Structure 1
């Protein structure tokens, strides 16, 4: 029997990172679908979920860049968030209902600053009830919405820094650099309890993920404008027939696509000649030359001609590919 051919992937083989400035109210899954649709991309994914009520950086990987998602997710994250004192909610943000209310005097700047060192370094925290944590195979937020009573175990997370940005009578704005798995909603909740006045997040914005910062972000408005500039011109007859203009020129959109290798800046880079790049793309190892070339490196990436060629490792003086990249397309 003749083997069935696989279906040709639908869409463009565009590869790279779009550092999306997610607006408040949009879910992460919705954002990925929107960007994938705008780019007519074959494949898309994101690095680190951002709550619908949060805004800011949602790195979205297109095509082969999805292979680098774990390296971005494991990177540092910086958040700016405002905590309003006096009320604790079911969701630890403005979406929930009040569960604890305090008439206690709001904390002073000195009170808050004295508490902050307790929330830096390795700390133990219980994730919010409304979170993506899995409980017996179910997402915690699904169980919470159904009224289920359950407990989430405390876990150790890392807060590299916590700074007080500004303070009013009942609200304090912080900036925090956190490691993977940290919930700033839990920080707000727990600080409120420690201060004896309760608290919840009223604004949350992520401004750094891994190697990407605010300068890399692009808004939905900018992307839609670039898409509109690349749409075909329809005849009057086509418009009257209800036809919708397609994007036929993606050059404007592609200006916002960043090199997949930018996600790998913490890894050792192996520059390849054209001949070596061809060998690596075929799955073959290449010998590293040069006085500074390492004999062993657990994780490394290879580039050739200014493009990402492969992820792999250096063993016995050779770069050995594990995941090969096909190019941007």
Structure 2
């Protein structure tokens, strides 16, 4: 007989408006502690210096993390021109300087190369794995790495403001795996003036927005009380980008055991979708000839 899991079997999403100065893993631990949850994970790391939306999944919602990780995300950030740093942000040491400063027109022109499908080299201080080790661990040991470029889709990247000649405020919408610090670094290089991120905020990720977020103070204040569940968003929100199919009662029973189950409605063969009964998510899978073939089943 398996050992009983510690904590509550609570499921859903907690959206934290992360402050600067704390890592994503620490936020996840705090949410899990506040809810007394059995299981927790997050969708999309934010650097300790970054602020904004950090979506934390509890319980069965952790099965939907890949959907949010793959979703589009919206950022605002400020680029400081005239200096390159070891971390591509203001936390690092300056390794090169330039007296050149770009005009607004030059920035607008340079941004064209960073839209659409691009290749991006991750920062040296990043979570990319190099021969089984995290790049940031190797970077702290003084190891210089030749990191391979990675594909990134940038849907939107615009100049949103220019506080002064040394800075530019940008807004970006991009897909999975984007490094805002790399955008700042590469933009500075393209303009010939060098650059790094001064500050960064994630406004939204998939269906989750900053105005849905709670603070660390909220978590501390409500931790361990019945009111903590008021901060919980339903698991079903993470499925917003997938079509929903209604399961028959018999289909719901089969899906609950991990078997293909009958659903109502019609989709192109092989479409990824989710099945529900009375608005409650049962499973995610592929629609095939009147049935959903589940890849993930929610046990709640």
Q: Tell me the TM-score normalized by structure 1.
A: 0.87
Tell me the alpha carbon deviations over residues 266-323 of structure 1, each in whole angstroms, 9 at most, x when there is no partner.
212112354542332133433334xx42362332111112221112221122122332
Whether the aligned pair in 2 keeps the contact of 1:295 and 1:318 (CA below 8 Å) is: no
2:28 maps to 32
1:311 to 284, 287, 290: 284
Tell me how far 1:225 sits from its aligned partner.
Answer: 2.4
Q: Hey, what does 1:60 align to over in structure 2? A: 56
- Which aligned pairs between 1:248-259 and structure 2 lie closer than 5 A? 249-250=225-226, 252-259=227-234
Which residue, out of 101, 105, 108, partners 1:110? 105
Answer 1 or 2: which has greater strand percent.
2
Contact 2:248 2:263 in 1 (8 A): no
State which drifts further: 317-326 or 116-125.
317-326
Structure 1 residue runs without a partner (length 5+): 228-246
* Counterparts of 1:226 and 1:150, CA distance in 2: 44
- Which one has the largest radius of gyration? 1
1:183 CA displacement: 0.9
CA distance in 2, matches of 1:272, 1:215: 33
Aligned to 1:294: 267
1:153 corresponds in structure 2 to: 148
1:80-114 C-alpha deviation (Å, 9 max, x unpaired): 0001111110000011100111122x222122112
Deviations 1:116-152 (A, max 9, x none): 1111111122111001111111111111100112211
Q: How does 1:231-242 map to 2 (within 5 A)?
A: none
C-alpha separation in 2, matches of 1:286 and 1:194: 54
Q: Give the equivalent residue in structure 2 for 1:239.
A: none
TM superposition outliers: structure 1 runs of 4+ over 4 Å:
none
2:10/2:59 contact within 8 Å kept: yes
Unaligned runs of 5+ in 2: none
Partners of 1:156 and 1:283 in 2: CA distance: 34
> Does residue 324 of the first structure (1) align with residue 285 of the second (2)?
no
1:189 alignment counterpart: 185
Residue 92 and residue 276 in structure 1: after superposition, are their counterparts in 2 closer, same or farther (change >3 A)?
A: same
Output one character per residue of 1:36-57: Cα deviation in whole Å (capped at 9) or x when no partner.
Answer: 0000000000001111011111
Q: Number of paired residues?
A: 299
Alpha carbon RMSD of aligned pairs, Å?
1.5
Using the alignment, how far apart are the partners of 2:158 and 2:211 within structure 1?
A: 21
Task: Determine if contact 1:80/1:175 at 8 Å carries over to the other structure.
Answer: yes
For residues 296 and 121 of structure 2, the distance between their equivalents in structure 1, rounded to whole angstroms, comes to 36
Residues in 1 aligned to 2:270 and 2:242: alpha-carbon distance in whole angstroms:
9
**Superposed, which structure 2 residues align to 1:16-95 within 5 Å?**
16-95=12-91
Q: Is the 8 A contact 2:246 2:263 kept in 1?
A: no
Q: For the Cα contact (< 8 Å) 1:122–1:156, is it kept in 2? A: yes
Change (3 A) 1:322 1:150: closer
Contact 2:7 2:36 in 1 (8 A): yes
